[in-house]
Structure 1
Amino acid sequence: MPTRGLQYYSLRTVLQYIEANKRFCLSQRIPTIRCAEKAVPLKIDYLQFDDFGITVNKTSYSLAVYRDFHQGSDYFQKEKDEDGIRFDLDQYGFQLEMNKTDLVPGEVIFGDVRVDNHNFNGNQLHIPITFPWSSQKHDMTMRRCYDKHLELFQIALKTRLDQGNLVRGMEVLDSFPVMTKMFSDDELVRGELTAKELKIKLSYLNCVQTSSLKILSHHLRRCLQPFDCLDNNKPLPFTPLIQLTIKREGQEKQIERYPYIMKLHEAIRKLSWLMFGGRKAVVQAHNFPFIDESITLRIPKELKIRVRKLRFKKNMNGRLEALNNLIDDSSYPLEKLSTFHQEQEIDHFAHHALTSAQQIVLKGSAPPNIDLLWNLRNKVVHFKYIWSPDFSIEELLTFAQNIIRAGSPAGVQRSFRMSNEVSIKNLLNRVAEQFNLIRSNRSVSIRMGNETKLNISYKFAKCCKEDNLQMKNWVLKMKVVPYLSLSSFFEKLKKLKITDGTL
């Protein structure tokens, strides 16, 4: 008996309770449900874009170019290319920078598009063996340098083998090594070495381990491969493929490979469209970190995201303006906004996204004008200015006095990362003296007269690599909490008409 699928509206009801990544998977495997899947609001806990992929909840999708080496490419057999390479390749195998300026409507560039200097520097004593870029395909200085060093290393290895020294397998390096310059500019141009010159260079290499020579030789061959294909019109010793790596927390990574018929930036655009293109409803993303200083955001034009927690690293105002078409108006007021500031940035304190957020986290450097911080009216503010000196006792007292004068309700909180425990203890002593209080070991409480009190306390901060480097290991917290005095308690009992234990 044939089975029938869910009806359209039943399918929509079921889809809204399925985790986002599972919905992506179902949509790709079952084309008949794609329209329904796109119509149902997508709920995501964590969403992050970067230049090479997308992270959704605890699953990351990253794209790279994979080189599938052909049989017989002996000197590439040690190649470890499982994660792929994060740049494009031309027809000869030279590297190409990923295109960050090719935009379609809806896509946005953040930060400066960095143009790296790929000029080969052969005049330094220690030369890094770097894979050649397409712009270096006619750089004869680089070509001669690699050729001559490879020839010398091969002679040294053959000499050791002829002398009966075992030439064992080499270790695998994850990155390109550095070699000591063995040739002068004149020797590189002149060509063949004299017997005396060769003997001197080989004697110097006697102190270099055989495994190191093999590693250097391997990487030099690898870097010379594009020149060989260019000069001799040879086919590539590998087949380039687009590789999609899917990593899920607690699971083995999943790898999918596709023909290299588009560049990396085009593949990322397609991946983004498959996930978010054609969605009729606003995508709900609880956490949306946007911390890359430079990124090309490749998103469908019609995509709208409702964000609850937003995080920036720099230039908050500029990035919010650029994201205006992406972030839906229903996101505001934000539940939490985290931003990283530099001293010269002050205009963000007037931005509606910051002033209206329930909770804000301020990192980096404190502004020169502390009034900007005293005047914040957010419910919760965390000051994590690890690049600035600690707030002074007088400044901290002003924070506390402002909370009391404003009659702030329960839940209002200010926290500060501090480096000096002595300063914190002195603050607690000042508060206890000023308000005629008795303080405990690490806290003091001030009654505010509206059935609340201001607790000022401190504790050792949780381990954080960034903060430990700055030695700000203490957290000072000022928080308004409910407080019910005995008189208020009995007054409430009277209102409830409680007498002799009965209502």
Structure 2
Amino acid sequence: MPREVLQYDSLRTVLQYIEANKRLHLSQFIPSIRFAEKVVPLKIDNLQFNELGVNINSTTYQLSLYRDFHQGEEVVDPFQKENDMGGVQNDLDQFGFLVPINRTDVVPGEIVFGDVVHQNRNFTPNLQPSFPCSHQQNDERMRRYYEKHLEIYQIALMRRLEQGDPEREETPARSFHPLLVRLFTDDELLATAGPPFDCLHNNRAIPFTTLIQLTIKSKDQVERIERYPYTVKLHEAMRKLNRMMFGGRSSIVNVYTFSFRLRNVVLRIPEGLKIRVRDLWLDENMNGRLEALGNIIDESSYPLEVLTIFNAEEEEADPFSHPILTSARNLILEGFKPTDMTRLLNLRNEKVFFEYCTRARSLTVENLLSFVRNVLAARSPVGVYRSFRVQDEALGRNFLNQVAEQFNGIRRFRTARIPIGNDSILEMLYNDTLSNVLEDRPPITKWTVVMTVVAA
């Protein structure tokens, strides 16, 4: 029975309703639909680019290097563990030394953010030596450093064997040398330092073939792994992966949530890619991040539906006057509360969620009362909403008590009300929710104070 092929217009209609990851998968395996797939606007719920990966909705694509040991070669345990945990997040040279990801090879369209050019290649001894890097291969001090610590470990291991307790897991309370702490774990790490030096100085071939590994993880699906010859560096492979997914698109990619929270990174974005964002998540240095994203986020994204920013403990340039922030309908503020509360009081966004850390510089009762005064003085319109994460229930209760005392508010259980005078009322309340931080830990109670201007 002959197969029926979708006509071009019908194919375009069908593609609009296929989930983004499935569309990309179909495009790779059915070359005949690639042109149509690139033309039809792509819709993504959640998008995040990383240095060696990309998250699309609930699927993660991650690049790494896999050491495929030759038959008959002994597989060193740390190498096996590294393979099992997803591979190496660095390039490798011909001797097996680690090579930092190339961040200086940048082409048009790619985003450079933070201090990514200068690599610290000075010899810095540490208490837990890791696998040596390529630039250390001719450093005799580094080689002697590893050899000396191997001798120390061999002596320590012999002493442990003499005591008849080679599998003891606990560590001594006080050690004459800090490297004896967690002996076997660090011993395994140190054992991996030898092969690259051995291959270099004895002109031996490395005992494994290096492969590029693409790990695809999807929620509620079996992890998929693909491996390819290591013919290009990891940053070039990432560039190819992003071009395959996002390059050559003639229409704007519609993204609901776009997250950019990495520091000191190069994102291999294809030139010409434009995304329309509704919910934007940014880490500290909001102004710098928005500047870096200027060529990828389309102007039609603004005003944003939601903007989430993180305020660093060391305060940066004032982000609160930026038009992208002031025009966002919903503003979520995380991190550390600024010392100058004036900038927060003057925010005119309809809804603001203050999710600042409750351990350092947390919101006080007086801070909350200043917001009440501000709402009353400005006669804020109906719909204005302010949510504050607070330290505990006592703070919420004390706040409402002060509202009743200072503003003649009508206090009832966990709520209070103050008439504003323009046929509206300022309603205040505090409540609690349970938040699961880790699956194996008990839930944490999160306390919140809410202020809302409602019609009388």
TM-score range, shorter chain: 0.7 to 0.9
Q: Distance in 2 between matches of 1:6 and 1:75?
A: 51
Q: Give the aligned partner of residue 398 of structure 1.
A: 370
C-alpha contact 1:345 1:367 (8 A) present in aligned 2: no
Does structure 1 residue 380 correspond to structure 2 residue 351? Answer: yes
Residue 119 of structure 1, aligned match among 96, 120, 123: 123
Does structure 1 residue 365 correspond to structure 2 residue 336? Answer: yes
C-alpha contact 1:364 1:388 (8 A) present in aligned 2: no
Moved more, 275-284 or 76-85: 76-85
Residue 391 of structure 2, aligned match among 419, 422, 447: 419
Residue 218 of structure 2, aligned match among 248, 258, 267: 248
Q: Give the aligned partner of residue 194 of structure 1.
A: none
Encode CA deviations 1:317-336: one digit per residue, 9 max, x unaligned.
11111211110001000011
C-alpha contact 1:244 1:255 (8 A) present in aligned 2: yes
Q: Distance in 2 between matches of 1:402 and 1:153?
A: 65
C-alpha contact 1:418 1:472 (8 A) present in aligned 2: no
Q: Give the aligned partner of residue 497 of structure 1.
A: none
C-alpha displacement of 1:152? 7.6
Letter in 1 for 2:350: K
C-alpha displacement of 1:377? 0.9
Q: Distance in 1 between matches of 2:40 and 2:154?
A: 63
Identical amino acids, percent of aligned pairs: 50
Letter in 2 for 1:42: L
C-alpha contact 2:337 2:362 (8 A) present in aligned 1: no
Q: Give the aligned partner of residue 276 of structure 1.
A: 246
Distance change >3 Å, CA 216–CA 417, structure 1 → 2: closer
Count of residues in Structure 1 that have an aligned counterpart in Structure 2: 440
What secondary structure is seen at the aligned counterpart in 2 of 1:348? coil
Residues 431-470 of structure 1: pairs in structure 2 closer than 5 A: 431-449=403-421, 452-463=424-435
Letter in 1 for 2:55: T
Residues 249-398 of structure 1: pairs in structure 2 closer than 5 A: 249-342=219-312, 344-386=315-357, 389-398=361-370
Letter in 2 for 1:91: Q
C-alpha contact 1:75 1:218 (8 A) present in aligned 2: no
Encode CA deviations 1:372-402: one digit per residue, 9 max, x unaligned.
2222110101122327534454443332233
Q: Give the aligned partner of residue 172 of structure 2.
A: none
Largest Rg, 1 or 2: 1
C-alpha contact 1:276 1:300 (8 A) present in aligned 2: yes
Q: Distance in 1 between matches of 2:158 and 2:72?
A: 22
C-alpha displacement of 1:239? 0.2
C-alpha contact 1:58 1:249 (8 A) present in aligned 2: yes
Distance change >3 Å, CA 153–CA 111, structure 1 → 2: closer
Residues 181-196 of structure 1: pairs in structure 2 closer than 5 A: none
Q: Give the aligned partner of residue 449 of structure 2.
A: 476
Unaligned residue ranges in structure 2 (runs of 5+): 170-174
Residues 118-267 of structure 1: pairs in structure 2 closer than 5 A: 119=123, 121=125, 127-147=127-147, 150=150, 218-267=188-237
> RMSD in angstroms over aligned alpha carbons?
3.3
Q: Distance in 2 between matches of 1:415 and 1:331?
A: 25
What TM-score do you get using the length of structure 1 for normalisation? 0.79
Letter in 1 for 2:338: P
Q: Distance in 1 between matches of 2:397 and 2:74?
A: 68
Encode CA deviations 1:194-236: one digit per residue, 9 max, x unaligned.
xxxxxxxxxxx9xx99xx66x6665444321111111121111
Letter in 2 for 1:455: E
Q: Distance in 2 between matches of 1:266 and 1:45?
A: 27
Q: Give the aligned partner of residue 34 of structure 2.
A: 34
What TM-score do you get using the length of structure 2 for normalisation? 0.86
Q: Give the aligned partner of residue 201 of structure 1.
A: none
Encode CA deviations 1:416-443: one digit per residue, 9 max, x unaligned.
2222544433332232234544311211
C-alpha contact 2:337 2:363 (8 A) present in aligned 1: no
Does structure 1 residue 11 correspond to structure 2 residue 11? Answer: yes
